[in-house]
Amino acid sequence: MLIPITRQKFEQIIPLIATSPQYAYYWGKFPEFLKRLLISLVAVVVVLLVGLLLGSGFNPLRLLLGIGAGLYWFWGPVYWASMRNIKIRRYQYSGFWRGRVLDVFVTEELTGTEENVNNRGELVIVENRERRLNVEVGDETGFTTLLQVPIRRTHKGIVPGQMAEMLVMSSQPDLGRIAQTSDIYIPRLNIWVSDYPYLQRDIFAQVSRQLRDADEEETYPAAPRIVKTKRRRR
């Protein structure tokens, strides 16, 4: 099932400014924080050196740039998450998609490499691998897509055949060609399958409930109400 949604609803579901989960995603782990902190320190030094070259007339601008550069470690995640949101909001058309989980499997993926020196002084390349969960979903039209995410404990209950929902984006008004997909929502388990949390999940879940209620009303219409009337005596 694929139901087009309005631009207004689309912009509610995918925010312009980073949400808390999106900020946490780009905040990352401790090494990512140290990297941003180092960038902040270097940027502050560069601003100070440029300010010295330009003279005292640029002190107000130097102050603003110094504050912004020094706080990059803090506002950096907001910037990168917002840029990612803007990129996906460029699609003019979107729709609510509902299908089924077709397959669930685990793979080991290469996440990076490191160069180390062993006991004999030889350079050794160490591969960093991570187990990832692969969830394939599809519908009766033949559309399928695969989403690969880090494994979490909540994913244990996902099995083929379960209902799956997500937001799809397209550059075509009829959504004939899907260009981008979002997080996957499993209503039965009330869990999300995602790497980057694109959606305002509470709003998406609300739309999901409204559409399910509408489907139930169409499938099982309410019985007509019988009103008993009293006959008047002649």
Please, which pLDDT band fits residue 229 given cuts at 50, 70 and 90? Answer: very low
Task: Tell me how far the alpha carbon of residue 205 is from its chain's centroid.
Answer: 14
pLDDT tens by residue, 13-34: 999 999 999 999 999 888 899 9
- Residue 209 is predicted with a pLDDT of 86
SS3 call for 32 = helix
Q: In this predicted model, which residue has the larger pLDDT, 8 or 224?
A: 8
Residue 181: exposure state from Cβ atoms within 10 A (0-12, 13-18, ≥19): middle
Look at the pTM and tell me if it is higher than 0.85: no
Average pLDDT, integer, range 137-164: 92
Q: What is the pLDDT of residues 193-218, one digit of tens each?
A: 998 999 999 999 888 888 877 766 66
As a whole number, the mean pLDDT across the chain is 85
What percentage of the chain has pLDDT greater than the value 70? 85
Q: Which of 135, 233, 128, 116 is nearest to 182 (CA)?
A: 135
Confidence of residue 222 (pLDDT cuts 50, 70, 90): low
Smallest CA-to-CA distance from 136 within 166, 110, 93, 91 is with: 166
Domain regions of the chain by residue span: 2-15+92-219, 21-88
CA distance to 62, 76, 196, 207, 213, per residue, from 72 (Å): 15, 5, 21, 36, 46
Q: What is the pLDDT of residues 71-114, one digit of tens each?
A: 999 999 999 999 999 999 999 999 999 999 999 999 987 766 76
